[in-house]
Chain A
Amino acid sequence: MWRVGLVFGAVAWFVSLVGLVEALHGRWVVDGVLSAGQVLLLAVLLASGWTAARRFSASLVGRLWAGLLAGATVGFCVGLLVWLRSLVDLRTMFVNASPALFQLLSGGQPARVAWAAAVAVGAGVGLVGGAGACTPARVVRPILVGAAAALSLALFQELVLLVLQPEPLAPVRDWLFVAGGGPTAQGIAATFAFSAALAALRQASWGRAGRVALPPKAQRVLWSFVGVLLLAALPIAGGPFVAQVLVIVGLYTLMGLGLNLEVGLAGLLDLGFVAFFAIGAYTVGLLTSVGDHGIAHWSFWAAVPVAVLVSLIAGVILGIPVLGIRGDYLAIATLGFGEIVRLLVLSDALRPWFGGSQGVLAIPKPVLAGFEFSGPQHLYYLTVVASAVVAYVAWRLQDSRLGRAWMAIREDEDVAEALGINLVSVKLLAYGLGAAFAGVGGAIFAVMVGSVFPHSFQLLISIQVLALIIVGGMGSIPGVIVGSAVLIGLPELLREFGEFRFLVYGAVLVAMMLLRPEGLLPAAAQRRELHAAEEEPAGLARTPVGAATEGGA
């Protein structure tokens, strides 16, 4: 039990010293009463009690005791940190060991008093955590849902305030938030109660046959209507900032759909995918720009097909030299390709054509029949339509002869070839079409920003696209959309915590893969594969290994 406590104590040290607690301390969950930083520390304590209780005992008293002990250990660790700081200046090593942090941890008390208090508080909260582990899931779940909703309100409060900006909504705003401050107690309580009740209701009606049953077809139509209406209404309700975030999510969805053809369907790892995004963006930029580097002054609509074509050709050109390269060799070769494209457009040598680091400027917004797609709210619809078209194409491809050929080479190249699949043309088509999809994204990116700089096409983007299709569920089109919403959209909405963005991002990537290696919305085939404990074609084991050895690993 105390070992669980020590692990969570280390977590408490880490979140404190890394600066997360102090950063979140600036954000009220209940204005003037409770900050997000305090909630984080409480959550660590609760989790320690809960984990210890679940691991070490089955009996009620045993669980409570385990929770209490683990919580006390965490509290002891926190107290130890406070005490250590009273002896040496931790700040020479840890920049975030600030006075404000220790004011929070010690509650302004002298080190010894604070230590005792921390153990006591830890024990108390750990006990609650232990009690949580004794409570049936149908009680705990609604509470967790409610707490998550209340926390979301606190974390996304800037966004909620933006949405509640119009004057008619002022009463709601004033009821939920203190003017110029955080959420009110009643706002948080209401959010908690409402979501918890909703979760409880949903749970109660789960599995009961009494639900209104429409025929499946009608249901699908209904849901499509609701979906389309929601999609159409989102930027209007959320305002330009939400629309902007959704445009970015859309761009990553376009790239994800492209990479999904290569990695998800054909099994060709690509770490240089940003190259095609860049090629699409630069093609549109150069063809439409009215600035110094513009070469044609075309309209956006004329430039897009060219951008798609150029990206497609670039995809094939990349594809040819790497045809014979497999697996991890492919990863580094494609990574190199992405870097080569970025360095070339950045280079002084090609500056007369691509503008070097000063970029291509003055890219006009698209105009359709006299209507200018000027702001993010307009570009949003362009992105949605483009994503829908591309998703439709991807979906049709997936079930086509070509799609099946891709899946065949993903499973086993040699068998696929023996079955008469022309590896060369099928692989080149995967590279070309995937690149073309990214080119569409790049084209929209160019008009969204209105200028194209080489610094926008870092390796990081290739990595993020790869991560989103795998987190979403490889080979699955809805997975791509969910993946980009989660991995791109959420961090954009939480821009205020910019410094901790990648810390949390990294932790979330690891956690998601541990909890759901098949992704959030996996393709059916993928799910089957994983559950048969069968390896990917490029996997390690050459003999099928049953689930029996899995537990022993």
Chain B
Amino acid sequence: MAAGALRRPVARRLNFVDAFLWAFRLAVIVVVVWGTVGTLRLGRYTGEQWVDFVVFGLAQGGIYALIALGYTMVYGILRMINFAHGEVFMSGAYTAYFVAAPLAASGFLDRHPILSLLLLVAVAAAVSTGVAVLVERVAYRPLRRAPRLVPLITAIGASFFLQYAFRGLYGSGFKAYPEFQLFKGEWQILGIGVLRTQAVVLASAAVLMFALYQFVMRTKVGKAMRAVSEDKDAAALMGIDVDRIIVLTFAIGGAAAGAAGILYALVFKQVHFFMGFVPGIKAFTSAVLGGIGNIPGAMLGGLFLGVVESVGPALFLDGLGIVAPYQLKDVIAFTMLVMVLIFRPQGILGERLAAKRA
């Protein structure tokens, strides 16, 4: 643990590095301030539009957070990037389409929307769980003692395989999810009009985060998970079935991803074989932003990322006279990420990890 504390003086030794880092921070701050002042002086956006930017950002962030929760769970236990998590997310939502379409065609969905939704979530969660457990069994379990880059490669391989397997099975076109009349339109929350779908996503993300957090902190299985995360061998010596705990972690992460997939489909109405890749990377970014392995951190990171992507281009770039600022939203997001990591290498809520484990 002392190793982490040793790190600071290292960076201090070479002055030009420090100088560069300060210059970098200063440059980012100057650009941000300059852009913000410029934007506000332009007066292009009304107050309501700023509120809209934030609300849209929070809603998108809610989706990132939902996926990031599963990501961070697995990471917390295994200390391994589950690159295939985005595909686990895709598999559930994509398969559930084949339940949703007949439900909508028969009119059942309009008559019993809540029941249908629960059914869809159940199907998606079941499929995602199955895929997640299968991936764990085939691609990760045999490699638990291998160098850490090896499971990263199998994860990437599993990610490709799943994407193109589902493409081969269900086709390369996208499927359009049916509309839930229940979630059409807006709700007025604190005087702000919020799209119903977005409110549902945010609420679900909060509930899921709370449930997962309680599960990990309060239950016996959660305790076992934390033990495995700390030290697998010691946990095994304490009588914990490490394999079972890891499978369980994957299953819970998978179920969460399946539920997230249905919510995604509610908001964006399209599913296809590639839908998991970009959200997967964004969720990973969110998890790292919040402090990887930390459940509330994943939520916070997701929301933060969503808001930065939504507000950032308009706030920082408009004032600099940059055309088509939304093309650069990922540039802003990743620059923010690096900034956060320079100031807090362990993420916003993360605890400082020992050098051996980071």
Contacts and interface: CB of A to CB of B under 8 A. Distances in A.
A422 to B, nearest CB: 8
A505 B160 CA distance: 7
A254 interface: no
Given A20-B168, A326-B358, A506-B162, A320 B156 contact: no
A95 B170 contact: yes
A499 B164 CA distance: 8
Contacts of B17: 320, 323, 424
Interface string A535-553: 1111111110100011001
Nearest to A471: B153
Given A331-B81, A414-B355, A506 B159 contact: yes
Given A96-B169, A517-B150, A322 B11 contact: no
Interface string A5-30: 00000000010011110000000000
Interface string B87-107: 000000000001000000000
A321 B145 contact: no
Contact of B288 (A332, A422, A510): A332
B123 to A, nearest CB: 13
Given A425-B14, A506-B157, A506-B161, 13 more contacts: A18-B165, A321-B342, A325-B341, A332-B284, A336-B334, A340-B335, A349-B325, A503-B161, A513-B154, A530-B146, A535-B147, A535-B148, A536-B147
A514 interface: yes
A503 B168 CA distance: 9
A420 to B, nearest CB: 12
A321 B232 CA distance: 33
A236 to B, nearest CB: 35
A320 B169 CA distance: 45
Contacts of B186: none
Given A269-B149, A320-B17, A535-B147, A502 B327 contact: no
Contacts of B284: 332
B357 A343 contact: no
A333 B327 contact: no
Which of B164, B232, B322: most chain A Cβ within 10 A? B164
B203 interface: no
A321 B170 contact: no
B44 interface: no
A530 B147 contact: yes
Which of A92, A325, A425, A537: most chain B Cβ within 10 A? A325
27 contacts: A17-B169, A18-B165, A18-B169, A320-B17, A321-B21, A323-B11, A325-B341, A326-B358, A328-B75, A328-B358, A331-B81, A335-B281, A337-B334, A344-B328, A346-B327, A349-B324, A466-B156, A467-B153, A474-B147, A474-B149, A505-B157, A506-B159, A506-B161, A506-B164, A513-B157, A541-B231, A553-B243
Interface stretch (B2-10, B53-61, B214-222, B259-267): B2-10
Contacts of A320: 17, 20-21, 24
B171 to A, nearest CB: 4
Interface of B: 3, 6-7, 10-11, 13-14, 17, 20-21, 24, 75, 78-79, 81, 98, 138-139, 141-154, 156-165, 167-171, 231-233, 236, 243, 281, 284-285, 288, 292, 322-325, 327-328, 330-331, 333-335, 337-338, 341-342, 345-347, 353-358
B150 A503 contact: no
Contact of B148 (A348, A539, A545): A539
Given A348-B323, A467-B153, A509-B154, A517 B159 contact: no
Contact of B345 (A329, A513, A542): A329
Given A347-B324, A467-B156, A324 B144 contact: no
A550 B142 CA distance: 10
A232 B290 CA distance: 53
Interface residues of A, number: 79
A234 interface: no
A466 B153 contact: yes
A541 B233 contact: yes
A326 B327 CA distance: 29
B265 to A, nearest CB: 17
Interface in A259-273: 263, 269
Given A320-B21, A510-B139, A543-B233, A329 B153 contact: no
A327 B358 contact: yes
Given A325-B341, A347-B328, A417-B10, A502 B233 contact: no
B147 to A, nearest CB: 4
Nearest to A549: B233
Contacts of A326: 345, 355, 358
A349 B328 contact: yes
Contacts of B322: 349
Contacts of B160: 502-503, 505-506, 509
A324 B14 CA distance: 13
A508 to B, nearest CB: 7
A339 B330 CA distance: 8
B146 A517 contact: yes
Contacts of B354: 542
Given A509-B154, A509-B160, A538 B281 contact: no
A507 B288 CA distance: 28
A470 B333 CA distance: 29
B143 A517 contact: yes
A93 interface: yes
Given A530-B146, A553-B145, A424 B163 contact: no
Nearest to A335: B281
A336 B338 contact: yes
Contacts of A325: 341-342, 345
A89 B146 CA distance: 45
A42 interface: no
B149 A93 contact: no
A263 B149 contact: yes
Contact of A536 (B142, B148, B163, B236): B148
A321 B19 CA distance: 11
A230 B186 CA distance: 70
Given A321-B338, A335-B281, A349 B323 contact: yes
A414 B150 CA distance: 24
A343 B151 CA distance: 29
A422 B12 CA distance: 12
Nearest to A327: B358
A58 B141 CA distance: 28
A409 B241 CA distance: 35
Contacts of B153: 466-467, 470-471, 509, 513
B334 A348 contact: no
Contacts of B328: 343-344, 347, 349
B242 to A, nearest CB: 8
A369 to B, nearest CB: 42
Nearest to A417: B10
A365 to B, nearest CB: 32
Contacts of B323: 348-349
Given A347-B324, A349-B324, A424-B17, A329 B334 contact: no
Contacts of B167: 503
A344 B325 CA distance: 11
A493 interface: no
A343 B150 CA distance: 29
A537 B3 CA distance: 13
Contacts of B292: 328-329
Given A14-B165, A328-B81, A513-B153, A542 B231 contact: yes
Contact of B232 (A14, A417, A466, A541): A541
A143 to B, nearest CB: 28
A535 B146 CA distance: 7
A332 B233 CA distance: 29
